[in-house]
Chain A
Amino acid sequence: MREVAVVGFTQSPSVRREPDRNEIEILIPVIQALREQTGLSSKDFDFICSGSSDYLAGQSFAFVSGLDAVGAWPPVCESHVEMDGAWALYEAWVKIQMGYADTALVYGFGKPSMGDLPLTMALQLDPYTMMPLWPDAISIAGLQARHCLDAGLLRAEDMAAAAVRDRANAKNNPNAQVKGDFSVQQILAEPFLVNPLRKSDCAPISDGASAIVLAAGDRAKQLSDRPAWIRGIEHICEPMDLGIRDLGRSRSSEIAARKAGVSNDKIDVAELSAPFTHQEILVERALGLSQKTKVNPSGGALAGNPLMAVGLSRIGECATRIWSGEADRAVAHATSGPCLQQNLVCVLEGN
């Protein structure tokens, strides 16, 4: 295996609605800042991979315009996934492993505020027996939350506590959207948005973008004094049908964590992109984190949720803490699909 590291990371602030810039205009300053941070120009990237969704843009082939922010002349080696940028990073990592690239630019971007995001998410469901019923993402997550509550796997207080923790951590994150001091009692007093979920159980809807530079071996050492080495990365998927899955645990996260080597050593920092409080608890359990791990120092997805970039940003948030020496070993998580259907786990180390 080649040693591959995260050597650059930039992100836009997460905002509920970026009124005046389109997706590409949100992305342009993020890519520009990454060039400045790493000293690399677009032609220094051997491979470029992005994650976005045309359904968020409401326009087919919208992702192609993303390349405008990068500059694609002379022609570049490029790919795109209709998934969170964390999966684009996985593709870039594979490309580097195969020896086709030494450096890669990865970015994710989305402007979900233009549409009705929970409803748009219905389009990721089985198109024969689920999508025609137009179940919105909050209702789908609500089915999982109630299952967990009914089965005694967690309590409403636990869910509220996850929101309280993340929002308090997010006070230190200038890019976070939802932050501040809240109490469990305060959150439990909120009306239900979709019973059993309250608004505070749901990640916000955020417009935003983020970008990462990967580099292999010596190239990484040239670009960073302390590269954040990817020591394990895996993504695992469960079936689509909710009825044949165990909604009370995240089996795919468990397998991905094992294969990525999460338990091989202590974890200083974990960054999770679960978009609902009960899902954050399930992922935390699946990763088997101890009390010593600082979970979501940035606030995680519950504090800022730029869809298609939020998972990639978790990897970047971990890398940032490794660069600074705040963490020696960190784990980042990204998710996709209904009720944590598919999960990606990435272990980063400073040594």
Chain B
Amino acid sequence: MTKQSAATEALTAPHTLSYTYKRSLGAVMSGFFTALRDRRLLGVKRRDGKVLFPAREYDPDTSEAIDELVEVGPMGVVRSWAWVAKPRRQQPLARPFAYALVQLDGADTPFLHVVDAGSEAKMATGMCVRARWADETKGAIDDFVFEPA
């Protein structure tokens, strides 16, 4: 490696990068997020009858377009979890919580979400959870969190 001259101390400055992205939803995801605003959890049915949550426009195995929305939850089972002891400012809860893969009743696949369990000791794979809705829903994935059922 070429020898470098000794570096002098570089100037540093705090910098916050922000973007105000707004994303168009399309027919299927509009139905999914409208239902969240109305406090309902909708998955999408594949041709083989299996239900995906969150809804998607395509079957991940066959690439077929799918659009039959069906209600699932609000109860579910934790399939895996990771405990966040020190939440960051952007994360959905200010107190320690778990990210989890939750399989909703009526759905065939788990999905990523948040469990507000209060303490790590209350978390376990296979535990039952229930969706708890925000006071004000807006039609977004963080309109709810899960809590132990």
Contact = CB atoms under 8 A, between A and B. Distances in A.
Nearest to A36: B2
A16 to B, nearest CB: 15
A143 interface: yes
Interface string B95-119: 0000111010000011111100000
A142 interface: yes
B10 A133 contact: no
B145 to A, nearest CB: 9
A253 to B, nearest CB: 18
A143 B101 contact: yes
Q: Please indicate which of the listed interface residues B1, B33, B100, B142 has the most CB atoms of chain A within 10 Å of its own CB.
A: B1
B140 interface: yes
Given A135-B112, A139-B84, A243-B109, A147 B101 contact: yes
A134 B90 contact: yes
Interface string B10-23: 10000101000101
Contacts of A140: 82, 99, 112
A128 B141 contact: yes
A265 interface: no
B131 interface: no
B69 to A, nearest CB: 14
Given A21-B7, A135-B99, A146 B142 contact: no
A133 B114 contact: yes
A-B pairs, 3 with minimum CB distance: A142-B82, A20-B7, A243-B109
28 contacts: A10-B1, A19-B10, A20-B8, A20-B9, A29-B4, A30-B1, A58-B17, A127-B23, A128-B25, A129-B111, A129-B141, A138-B82, A142-B81, A143-B80, A143-B99, A143-B100, A147-B101, A192-B83, A194-B84, A241-B111, A242-B101, A243-B53, A243-B79, A243-B101, A243-B110, A243-B112, A244-B52, A244-B60
Given A55-B17, A241-B109, A242-B110, 11 more contacts: A20-B8, A33-B2, A59-B17, A127-B23, A128-B33, A128-B54, A139-B99, A143-B112, A145-B82, A192-B85, A243-B112
